[in-house]
Amino acid sequence: MPVATPQEYVAMLDAAQNGGYAYPAINVTSITTINGALKAFSESGSDGIIQVSTGGGGFASGTAVADDAFGALVLAEATHLLAEKYDVLVALHTDHCHPEKVDGFLRPLLDASRKRIAEGKGPLFNSHMFDGSVVDLDENLTISKGLLAECAELNIILEIEAGCVGGEEDGHDTSGLPAEKLYTSTEDMVQVYETLNGIGRFMFAATFGNVHGAYKPGSVKLKPTILRDGQNAVMEKYGKDAEMDLVFHGGSGSELSDIRETLGYGVIKMNIDTDTQYAFTRPIVKHMCENIEGVLKIDGEVGNKKTYDPRGYLKKAEQSLCDRLKECCDDLLSTGNSIYGKI
């Protein structure tokens, strides 16, 4: 299976919207995390989304290069090759890109897609996210309109955000914002639709109290009905076909009841990062604790090569990430719903 074509990606989103389920969108930073994600989607019989953040791209490029766009390109090309060995569809996406990073991150990746298309291939990424939540909505949508037009020319979908997701992730810290900033208004949702409709396909990360990072149950007050009310306002004015493809950011740690409720309001993509990071790291820590004398050359001893070989503990990390992502497929009802080979 190659990475989904633009037409297959549209079919994936339509299938999720019509079927009442959503795709896990997992952030990756390495070959190992890509492999864990692909294994999870395949074993779940679920299509899915693999995404790269600016920080993830910078990490993947290596400490000597530290180039966000170049690292994202490396991870994307690796995914295109590795995905051919599996029997589900995956789409490639980039996560939060703020206005100041558009020229250094998003546009080089759009140029890479132009080059691939000129060679008779599909775009490098299926979709990109522009996060204009750091500026006022009018400025956000002015920039979004231009980027959406660029993406549409390449058969790429643009995700935008209005309102701010709380917490901190990958250097993006909104933890000091007042609570009201965490909730997108109905009026804002209507304005987003009216501004972007007709330019190209887009996804909308409306905020309803969601927060990046780890938090204890009950500490975050999600209001999924914000999504319902905004969607209803748009559809009452423009018809059922105006229902927007919504994105749930900060999905890690969320209550299952809240996750499932959002599926009824048009959420077709949920980002997961914190929970899969923890799932990846925990078996590594356990391995180190259980094999400390073999991993470290203590008191002049030679250690145990089998225990400090990175392949040993990274295989455990890959499997643990895979297991956690399969839970996410179950939560989002995407398990068993792959459209691979059906279109």
Kind and range of the H or E element at 314? helix 310-331
Q: What is the amino acid identity at position 263?
A: L
Q: Where are the domains of the chain?
A: 6-331
Strands 172-173 and 168-169: antiparallel
DSSP notation for 228-296:
HHHHHHHHHHH-GGG--EEEE---TT--HHHHHHHHTTTEEEEEE-HHHHHHHHHHHHHHHHHTHHHHS
| Predicted local confidence at residue 211, as pLDDT | 66
The C-alpha angle 318, 324, 326, rounded to 5 degrees, equals 100
Q: Looking at mean pLDDT, say which of 76-80, 160-164, 176-180 comes out highest.
A: 76-80
**In CATH, which of 3.90.650.10, 3.40.50.970, 3.40.50.1860, 3.20.20.70 is domain 6-331?**
3.20.20.70
* Tens of pLDDT, residues 262-291: 999 999 999 999 999 999 999 999 999 999
Distance CA 126, CA 16 (A): 16
Strand partners, 271: 25
Confidence of residue 106 (pLDDT cuts 50, 70, 90): very high
Kind and range of the H or E element at 158? strand 157-162
Q: What is the amino acid identity at position 211?
A: V
**pTM, 2 dp:** 0.92
Confidence of residue 40 (pLDDT cuts 50, 70, 90): very high
Q: Which residue has the higher pLDDT, 228 or 171?
A: 228
Terminal CA-CA length for the chain? 13
* Tens of pLDDT, residues 117-133: 999 999 999 999 999 98
Q: Is the pLDDT of residue 179 over 70?
A: no
* Tens of pLDDT, residues 204-228: 999 988 665 555 555 567 899 999 9
Q: Which residue has the higher pLDDT, 213 or 34?
A: 34
- φ, ψ of residue 237 to 5 degrees: the values are -90, -35
Confidence of residue 166 (pLDDT cuts 50, 70, 90): very low
Confidence of residue 2 (pLDDT cuts 50, 70, 90): confident
Strand partners, 248: 270
Instruction: Kindly list the catalytic residues.
Output: 95
